[in-house]
Amino acid sequence: MPRFHHANLGVPVDGIADEAAFLTDVLGYRRLEPPPELRDRANWFEGDDGRQIHLSVDPDHRPAARAHVAVEFGPELAAIEARLAERSIEFEAAEGVQGRVVICRDPAGNRWELRSTTELAAP
């Protein structure tokens, strides 16, 4: 069975610092040092589950309208919502059969789906 390792997101040329702050300060990822051969072009971040987000500078970056990264945060989602609000990052939140879902965009305009759980709620 395949196992998800990372998603690579594009960011504008001057967008790495803001994007790194979003990933570490809002979502709780930690910054990793990429291998020496990739340090000049790679920015890596890792969650507690070992899954990673990589950032690549893209001079032609245009965020997708619907494509997104979906991440499950469990009970930590409430704290993330508070951090989004503290930083005046717009988001939409809704309760569904699969728990709470928060939709936001990062500083580069990439869309994120932040979830409390992916398990179906019991009837």
The DSSP bridge partners found for residue 1 are none
Match 């990793």 to its residue by tokens. 32
Q: How many domains does the chain have?
A: 1
The confidence score (pLDDT) of residue 43 equals 95
- Within-domain flag for 1: no
What digits encode the pLDDT tens for the residues 45-83?
Answer: 999 999 999 999 999 999 999 999 999 999 999 999 999
Question: What is the distance between the alpha carbons of residues 110 and 27, in angstroms, rounded to a whole number?
Answer: 14
Instruction: Answer whether residue 121 shows pLDDT above 70.
Output: no
Which tens digit of pLDDT belongs to each residue from 16-30?
A: 999 999 999 999 999
How would you classify residue 22: left for phi > 0, otherwise alpha for psi between -120 and 50, otherwise beta? alpha
Q: For residue 94, what is the domain's CATH number?
A: 3.10.180.10
Does residue 90 lie in a domain region?
yes
Domain coverage including residue 85:
6-115
pLDDT at position 1: 84
Give a yes or no: residue 106 inside a domain: yes
Q: Does a structural domain hold residue 79?
A: yes
Can you give the pLDDT at residue 117? 81
CA dist list (Å): 90 to 41, 42, 52: 29, 28, 24
Structural contact between residues 11 and 57, judged by C-beta atoms closer than 8 angstroms: yes
Pairing of strands 52-57, 43-46: antiparallel
Q: Would 121 be classed as within a structural domain?
A: no
β-pair type (99-105, 91-96)? antiparallel
